[in-house]
Amino acid sequence: MNSSRRNFLHLAAGAAALPAVSRVARAQGYPTRPITMVVGAAAGGPTDTIGRIITERMRNALGQTIVIENNGAAAGSIAHGRVARAAPDGYTLSLGHWGRTLSTSRLHACV
Q: How many CB atoms lie within 10 A of CB 31?
A: 16
CA-to-CA separations, 73 to 12, 33, 63, 81, in angstroms, rounded: 65, 27, 31, 11
> Of the candidates 72, 73, 61, 67, which has an alpha carbon nearest to the alpha carbon of residue 37?
67
Over residues 27-67, the pLDDT tens digits come to: 678 889 999 999 988 999 988 999 999 999 999 999 999 99
Q: CB within 8 A of 107, min separation 6: which ones?
A: 80, 83, 84, 94
Over residues 88-108, the pLDDT tens digits come to: 998 999 998 766 555 444 444
Whether the CB-CB separation of 104 and 77 falls below 8 Å is answered with: no
pLDDT score at 111: 47
Of the pLDDT bands very low, low, confident and very high (cuts 50, 70, 90), residue 8 is confident
Helix (H) / strand (E) containing 7: helix 3-21
Amino acid (one-letter) located at 43: A
pLDDT score at 53: 93
